[in-house]
Amino acid sequence: MKSLSEIETAVKRASRAVGFSWGNSEEVGKSIRLLELFGLQGIKNLNQYYAEKQKKQFEDLNLISEKNEPSSEAYCPIILGISFLDQIKSLENFEIIRFEKIAYPVIFLSFLSRASEISGKKIYAKFDKNEILLNLNLNICSSFFNQEFPKLVDKVEIKFLTNQDNFTEIEWNSLYKLAENTFVEESESLKQGAAGAGLTDND
C-alpha cells in the first residue's frame, strides 16, 4: 500500500510534468493526498483528467464571482480549486456561489474541503442533484459517495454555513447543571487527610 507521502510526492511531480507550476503542483499533491485519505478515488480521477487534458483545453477561472459560466470547455478543477483557496475571504461574503460545467469535480471537491478548514466554516455543496457537506477538512458527508464520481457536472452550488450549536440553550443548561456536581468543595476530612500525608512518626 502506498503511503500518503508517496502519493503527494508523485502527484506533485506528475502535475509539474503536465505543465503546472511547482507551486500549483504542490497544491494538487496536497489535495489528491486528502482524497485518498478520505477513501475517495483521487489518483484514478487525476489520471483520467490528465489524459483528457492532453486532448482538449479546459478553461481556467482565475477570478471567481457569484455566478460563473465557462465560454466553451468545462472549468479546470485544479485552477478553479486554487483560485477558490486564494479568494476565500471575499467568497465567504457571497450567499451562494454558482458554477456551470466543472470537469472531474471530485478534484475540485478536495480544494473545497481545505477551504472549509481555512475559513473555519462548514461548506454545503451541490453537484447537480448530489448534496455534500464539508466539515472543516475533518470529513466529507454525502450519500453520493457510493456511486462513481462523474467526469463532468453541469451545475454546482456552494454555500458557506454559519457556525451554530446543534443543541438548544435548555439542553446545554441541563448538561452544565449536571457537570456542576463535580464542583464540590473539599470536606474537612479530605483536608485533614491531605495535611496528614506529610507527617512522620517523629511528629
Sign of the dihedral through C-alpha 146, 161, 31, 50: positive
pLDDT at position 50: 97
In the chain, the percentage of residues whose pLDDT exceeds 90 is 76
Mean pLDDT to the nearest integer, 142-166 = 88
Distance separating alpha carbons of residues 56 and 75, to the nearest angstrom: 12
Distances (CA, A) of 167 to 62, 161, 174, 175, 196: 40, 16, 11, 11, 46
Q: Would you say residue 90 has pLDDT above 80?
A: yes
User: Does residue 198 lie in a domain region?
Assistant: no
Amino acid making up residue 114: R
- The predicted-structure confidence for 38-71, as pLDDT tens digits, reads as follows 999 999 999 999 999 999 999 999 999 999 999 9
Compute the C-alpha angle 31/117/138, nearest 5°.
75
Torsion of CA 191, 194, 195, 200, to 10 degrees: 150
User: Does residue 183 lie in a domain region?
Assistant: no
Q: Would you say residue 194 has pLDDT above 60?
A: no
Among 33-42, 58-67, 145-154, name the one with the lowest average pLDDT. 145-154
User: Does residue 171 lie in a domain region?
Assistant: no
- The predicted-structure confidence for 156-189, as pLDDT tens digits, reads as follows 999 999 888 889 999 999 999 999 888 765 455 5
Mean pLDDT to the nearest integer, 113-137 = 94
Number of domains in the chain: 1
> Band of the pLDDT at 120, cuts 50, 70, 90?
very high
Residue 117 CB partners (closer than 8 Å, separation 6+) = 136, 137, 138
pLDDT at position 147: 72
Cell digits of residue 40 = 475517495
pLDDT at position 193: 61
Compute the C-alpha angle 41/55/97, nearest 5°.
55
Residue range of the domain that includes 83: 4-160
- What values do phi and psi take at 102, rounded to 5? -120, 125
User: Does residue 128 lie in a domain region?
Assistant: yes
Cell digits of residue 146 = 457510493
User: Does residue 124 lie in a domain region?
Assistant: yes
